[in-house]
């Protein structure tokens, strides 16, 4: 018997689906007697035990010992996700909570919007949430360099959608507001209306050739300010809700290892970057991604677009394999589409 046979056998599918539903709700291995009480098709516990034994032989279910109930294996979760799981509606309360992401978004930085999105998503899913911050590459409306104190300045970038990016930069102790004003004037006169990536290319061509006759201090400030923002976003990953995983320690094989890997932003960035070009929601279970192969976890992730419908990042939820896939898939997909209207 193979997975195609299982999919075509209504009895096997019904028993497996009900078993998963009970296991997701209770976290306890499920026995044949419990299943016999909830199946739409009346079946004896003995018949159910035979089906469960077949599914265990196929690696879809497992049990701790002969007389115990069964629970899904990683192979079983994959079969469930590919064959049985359906999208679920989210409640009005969840829609209202997600709407907080867009509330007062105009004038906020991209990062603050994404921070809010990961916060809300992790709370609703009761898992950890992670998001790839996109490289800032929309057209630039205005850029300012503002002196905060000796040796410290802030770069303020306003894009075409009114979204603001702020980054602190270090400058020489003797840099004055006049020098920063010169850098501001240069940027906005020569390069306003270009994307930050275009600005970086133009800076390399024009400043290195000294076309504008800027002094070295001003050129360094311009290069540092734009380069800092681009490089910062190039490697930026936001992770929220790690504390939600603490209550699930019994279901995660190595919680300490998982939390450590969630702090490895470069590794997370590589994983998220691979998902940016994917189509729709993607689901990785256990060893399907080497990053979490020892943790007994699942990652549900979706790319998201910017206002120009370009794929710019990915957002997802990570938690134990025992999760309500239909609900979390819908939450991730809904959040990704929401971000496409505001980023």
Long-range contacts of 154-159 (CB under 8 A, 24+ apart): 155/225, 155/226, 155/228, 155/229, 157/196, 157/229
pLDDT over 70 for what percent of the chain?
80
Please give the pLDDT value at position 113. 86
pLDDT digits over 191-200, tens only?
656 666 666 6
Per DSSP, what are the bridge partners of residue 314? 303
pLDDT at 320 > cutoff 80:
yes
Phi-psi region of 193 (alpha: psi -120 to 50; beta: other; left: phi over 0): left
pLDDT bin (cut points 50, 70, 90) of residue 4 is: very low
Dihedral sign (CA 197, 199, 205, 208): negative
CA atoms within 13 A on the CB side of 84: 23
Contacts of 327 (CB under 8 A, 6+ apart): 88, 90, 125
- Cα distance between residue 299 and residue 141, in whole Å: 37
The number of beta carbons lying within 10 Å of the beta carbon of residue 92 is 8
Average pLDDT, the chain: 81
The larger pLDDT score, comparing residue 228 to residue 278, is at 278
Overall average pLDDT of the 159-183 stretch = 80
Residue 46 CB coordination number (10 Å): 9
> Does the pLDDT at position 185 exceed 70?
yes
Q: Is 80 exceeded by the pLDDT of residue 336?
A: yes
CA distance 336 to 343: 10
How far apart (Å, rounded) are the C-alpha atoms in residues 93 and 22? 25
| Lowest-confidence segment of 8-22, 284-298, 319-333 by average pLDDT | 284-298
Residue carrying structure tokens 């905060």: 148
**If residue 238 lies in a helix (H) or strand (E), which one and from where to where?**
strand 237-240
Q: Please give the distance of CA 308 from its chain centroid, rounded to a whole number.
A: 20
- pTM of the predicted model as reported, rounded to 2 decimal places: 0.72
Query: Residue 310 has what pLDDT?
Result: 76
């Amino acid at each position: 018997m193979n997975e195609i046979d299982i999919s075509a056998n209504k009895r096997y599918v019904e028993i497996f689906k009900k078993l998963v539903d009970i296991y997701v709700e209770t976290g306890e291995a499920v026995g044949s007697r419990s299943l016999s009480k909830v199946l739409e098709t009346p079946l004896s516990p003995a018949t159910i035990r035979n089906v469960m034994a077949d599914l265990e032989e196929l690696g879809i279910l497992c049990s701790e010992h002969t007389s115990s109930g069964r629970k899904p294996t990683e192979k079983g979760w994959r079969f469930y996700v590919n064959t049985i799981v359906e999208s679920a509606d989210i409640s009005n309360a969840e829609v209202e909570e997600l709407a907080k992401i867009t509330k007062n978004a105009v004038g906020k930085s991209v990062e603050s919007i994404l921070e809010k999105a990961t916060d809300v998503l992790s709370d609703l899913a009761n898992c950890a949430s992670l998001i790839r911050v996109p490289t800032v590459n929309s057209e630039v409306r205005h850029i300012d360099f503002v002196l905060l104190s000796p040796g410290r300045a802030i770069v303020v970038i306003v894009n075409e959608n009114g979204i603001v990016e702020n980054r602190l930069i270090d400058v020489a102790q003797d840099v004055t507001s006049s020098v920063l004003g010169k850098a501001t004037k240069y940027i906005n006169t020569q390069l306003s209306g270009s994307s930050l990536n275009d600005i970086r290319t133009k800076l390399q061509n024009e400043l290195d050739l000294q076309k504008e006759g800027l002094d070295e201090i001003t050129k360094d400030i311009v290069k540092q300010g734009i380069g800092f923002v681009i490089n910062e976003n190039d490697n930026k990953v936001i992770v929220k809700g790690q504390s939600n995983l603490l209550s699930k320690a019994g279901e995660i094989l190595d919680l300490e290892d998982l939390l450590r890997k969630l702090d490895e932003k470069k590794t997370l960035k590589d994983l998220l970057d691979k998902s940016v070009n994917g189509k729709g929601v993607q689901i990785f279970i256990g060893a399907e991604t080497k990053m979490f192969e020892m943790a007994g976890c699942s990652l549900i992730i979706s790319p998201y677009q910017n206002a120009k419908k370009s794929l710019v990042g990915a957002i997802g939820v990570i938690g134990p394999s025992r999760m309500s896939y239909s609900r979390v898939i819908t939450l991730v997909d809904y959040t990704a589409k929401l971000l496409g209207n505001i980023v």
